[in-house]
Homo-oligomer: A and B are copies of this chain.
């Protein structure tokens, strides 16, 4: 038994235990008034109904893919590899689903407790929501580390071979992540758009008004999209990064032996321990600050700082080369830079949001035009930051004097960036928890002070959600290279000759690149359209219910469950086409154009996917905050022409930032694992 696996198991189990403690702490907190409880119960019921149906659908798809994997591998003659990979795939799919479900479970309980706490103290509400988020973050990251460690232990006869089987685990994780994020993203935004268009725009009732039949579906959406979806997303991010770095470690086997292969698990485990301290460092007092973001940021800095110290320990212990530690620092630096970029582009304090707000005065068209301009602009500094991080960590890796050290330098940067991943995930889940808490407070009718506290919480939640999306893109960009390298190593193994060149100057390779870029645009189109189509069902249903005059008068309770049910069916139906496209298209193109073209397909799809994700995430985030900025009284405030324009911008931004954008991160990583798993078909 390698010491690294013992470290991983220990850290993973400690993190699970702490998560259980946090869960216990959340569960025993006050559950507020009966009104609050009844709203929360409805949300919980809807979320569980969706997750049940969604995962049954996904399970069927996953079984089909497992059979496909088995068939493809058997076809290439390696039956043992065939069933190892198929089982690893199912195992990854199961763990990913589990991670998502746990995230959602905790969220639908923490929302009520956070709402209840907001009646007495902002700090208490922040703490409960963050602890709830931490349950999700710690569980997800420890499951990903434990999953990889378990497979490695079970199959670990040859540490130079095993990482290639773990690829199946990664594909399983990203397969589930795609459908979870896509289905959840369609659900959440279709419900949101549908509820807003009929409720706010047509009937003129406020957001989260209990008379709106789609309001529960909207609140359910926050959980299934943001918690279950992003949980599965970051689960597979850590898995994919671990696999990529482990395969790179195989290339360095002559130098570091098994230490190079297992280093990613150690780095992740230490990051997990750092996260626990970071979470504990955020006290009720921090949360009582008028701006709770300061408290949350403090926790992040603590986590990042301790991660770095432990990272230093890990590097000196297992690699004995200080340059790799410096490379790791580059990753931490990039994560901080991304935090600033995201804030600059989405916070109303700065020029971008203010320029969109100003443009809203002349109507919806100028709001959209300016918003799109800002959205496109965000790619500029982001791409430059990623470029510098890649080149610098590569250079630092080269300074190590180790052969292939450059690439291992970028791996270190990725690990550095992903070390505080569990904390980021906790902040991310914090978002939908407080969002839901807001809905519960609104629907159950609380006093002015509680509403004020909840508004502060809600705004902090929006910020944390935006930040984690930026972080997800940055880390995906850094880790992309590991996955390309893994694919090329795999092809080298399969063909027996070194595959080191992806020559874009060859027509078929260029065509591969073109089709990769196209897939990103086409997928975005289908994801956005799926939201529009699902929203149509909800609009029709809400209009139908509003025909009963008692509902708008507030004397008749609307049928929330029907809306939940219709949204569920619509989201699941409409996720199939884009989901299937991105699984089958690369397999077909790879089969037709062969492995070098496929590498270009993957690389250019990654570039375009990440840039477009930035456009969609930041654009959506900016539009959201433009609306809030105007609602705070600027340019005429609520009800003004500028506000109407801002509502249009916000609605356009919804499927950008919560469906298409996050699904694109997952798509990029799914493409990487698909090409890896089906590499044998491309020869």
Contact = CB atoms under 8 A, between A and B. Distances in A.
Chain A, interface residues (CB within 8 Å), range? 35 or more
Interface in A423-470: none
A373 B528 contact: yes
A600 interface: yes
Contacts of A366: 193, 197, 532, 535, 651
B510 A390 contact: yes
Contact of A488 (B505, B517, B539, B600): B505
Count identical subunits in the complex.
2
Contacts of A532: 359, 366, 369-370, 373
A60 interface: no
Given A363-B201, A504-B599, A607-B604, A514 B383 contact: yes
A525 B377 contact: yes
A290 to B, nearest CB: 33
Contact of A500 (B505, B603, B604): B505
A364 B364 contact: yes
A502 B509 CA distance: 10
Per DSSP, chain A at the interface is helix
Interface string A505-526: 1011011011101100110111
Nearest to A655: B369
A253 to B, nearest CB: 20
A394 interface: yes
Contacts of A382: 518
A391 B508 CA distance: 7
Nearest to A527: B373
Given A500-B505, A508-B391, A514-B607, A652 B369 contact: yes
A678 interface: no
Interface string A209-220: 000000000000
B603 A379 contact: no
Contacts of A365: 193, 197, 364, 647-648, 651-652
Given A373-B525, A511-B390, A364 B648 contact: yes
B391 A648 contact: no
A501 B369 CA distance: 40
A376 interface: yes
A621 interface: no
A643 to B, nearest CB: 14
Contact of A604 (B368, B379, B484, B604): B604
Interface in A366-418: 366, 368-370, 372-377, 379-380, 382-384, 386-387, 390-391, 394, 406-407, 410
A376 B522 contact: yes
Of A364, A379, A382, A407, most B-chain CB atoms within 10 Å: A364
Contacts of A375: 525
A611 interface: yes
Contacts of A518: 379-380, 382-384, 611
Interface in A313-349: none
A503 interface: yes
A56 interface: no
B384 A515 contact: yes
A362 interface: yes
B364 A524 contact: no
B648 A363 contact: yes
Interface in A616-652: 647-648, 651-652
A574 B365 CA distance: 20
B504 A481 contact: no
A522 B386 contact: no
What 8 A-B pairs have minimum CB-CB distances, sorted nearest first?
A376-B525, A365-B651, A383-B518, A377-B525, A373-B529, A379-B521, A373-B528, A502-B504
Given A372-B525, A503-B504, A517-B611, 19 more contacts: A201-B363, A365-B647, A366-B535, A368-B368, A373-B525, A373-B528, A376-B522, A377-B521, A377-B525, A379-B522, A383-B514, A383-B518, A387-B515, A391-B508, A394-B507, A510-B603, A514-B611, A521-B615, A608-B611
